[in-house]
Amino acid sequence: FDMFILAFVERLFRPTYKKDDIVLGKKLGEGSFGSVYRVSLAKKPSSKGGGDLVLKRATEYGAVEIWMNERVRRACANSCADFLYGFLENSSKKGAEYWLLWRFEGEATLADLMQSREFPYNVEALILGEVQDLPKGLDRENRIIQTIMGQLLFALDGLHSTGIVHRDIKPQNIIFSEGSRTFKIIDLGAAADLRVGINYIPKEFLLDPRYAAPEQYIMSTQTPSAPSAPVAAALSPVLWQLNLPDRFDIYSVGLIFLQMAFPGLRNDNSLIQFNRQLKRCDYDLVSWRQTVEPRAGPELRKGFELLDLDGGIGWELLTSMVRFKARRRISAKTALAHPYFDREGLQALSFIQ
């Protein structure tokens, strides 16, 4: 109950925004459920802070996305982009739209950064704020990828501990926050809050087939519809244990790990081809490796070499994330304690010492 009062008071005293405050800038994205713009404020009253913002004009699922962002703001603020305010805008020509505002976190998503030939050194430069004058090599690349994986799992653990499954984890939905020099999760439009039953019914058409785990449904078919909120709140810890819906995101983050290790799998076509190969191997990474490694080119070999460092601890972590059965996949929290992260810890800067 105290939490409820606190949340209410916090909401009451936070700055609010309306359509006339907002000056549209460059369009950043256009999805089937809305558009995203970089925006600035018409006037810059100090209470609302300066700096650029991001606006999403959403039709469907806008209400869900506002709910998720409010919850993240209170429960695990560092996991996601800094959410400011959301409201229903009735005056637009297209009919009612939800307007959502975030702080502009930075120019680049992980997808942008992974497309560069410099990856992962371009990320090292962002995290450190400077370019290091050190020889490039597999070990250094591995440390950067370790740091990125640590940040992604930390953010995901925050969401999962809050009871939220993202369901659309992919490099395009991970933004590099220039302020905190860390990666943050964005785009909660497909997320499910299992503790209160918001967006409980899985919408398969929201799932991105490139990164989706093989199970089509987040919850098993035995729980096909949303119970009422109080019933869901009482049941959901049980359902969570039974169905482990968080492991859907773990599979997706495992595919990101794979793409970071294997430069040849970073573009869409090769990822789609990989998904086909893995399916043919019954989603068993070990047998995938057995089929591709004997005739692997230099890029694939480099990936295996990187994952085989330190006694193959990276490969071990990868194979514990990308598995057919959700219940056999590692959780975000357990993954953070995996020996893969031992040597360097999770301090972003630890690898320069």
Query: Which residues in 187-246 contact ligand ADP (CB under 6 A)?
Result: 187, 189
Q: Does 173 bind ligand ADP (CB under 6 A)?
A: yes
- Asked if residues 24 and 55 have their Cβ atoms less than 8 Å apart, the reply is yes
Stated length of the chain: 353
d(CA 191, CA 254): 18
| DSSP character at residue 25 | E
Pick the closer one to ligand ADP by CB: 173 or 223. Answer: 173
31 part of the interface to ligand ADP, by CB under 6 A: yes
Q: Give the whole-angstrom CA distance, residue 111 versus residue 149.
A: 14
CA atoms of 85 and 140, how far apart (whole Å): 40
Q: Single out the residue of 69, 79, 109, 223 in contact with ligand ADP (rule: CB under 6 A).
A: 109
Q: Which residues are catalytic?
A: 168
Q: Is residue 315 a contact residue for ligand ADP (CB under 6 A)?
A: no
Q: Nearest distance from residue 181's CB to ligand ADP, in Å?
A: 14
Helix (H, G, I), strand (E, B) or coil at 205: helix
Least CB distance from residue 135 to ligand ADP, whole Å?
33
Residues in 66-85 at the binding interface with ligand ADP, rule: CB under 6 A? 81
Cβ-Cβ contacts under 8 Å for 285 (sequence gap 6 or more): 278, 318, 319, 322, 323
Query: Of these, 187, 193, 246, 249, which contacts Mg ion (CB under 5 A)?
Result: 187
Cα–Cα distance for residue pair 256/111, rounded to 1 Å: 10
Contact between 51 and ligand ADP by CB under 6 A: the answer reads no
Query: Measured from the CB atom, is 186 or 218 closer to ligand ADP?
Result: 186
Size of the site for ligand ADP (CB under 6 A): 19
247 binds, among Mg ion, ligand ADP, none (CB under 5 to 8 A by kind): none
Q: Which amino acid is at 247?
A: R
264 binds ligand ADP (CB under 6 A): no
Q: Which of 14, 166, 162 is nearest to 85 (CA)?
A: 14
Phi and psi, residue 29, nearest 5° = -165, 155
Nearer to ligand ADP, 32 or 241 (CB): 32
The encoded tokens of residue 160 equal 């999962």
Instruction: Give yes or no for residue 104 binding ligand ADP (CB under 6 A).
Output: yes
Q: Applying CB under 6 A, which residues contact ligand ADP?
A: 28-29, 31, 34, 36, 54, 56, 81, 102, 104-106, 109, 172-173, 175, 186-187, 189
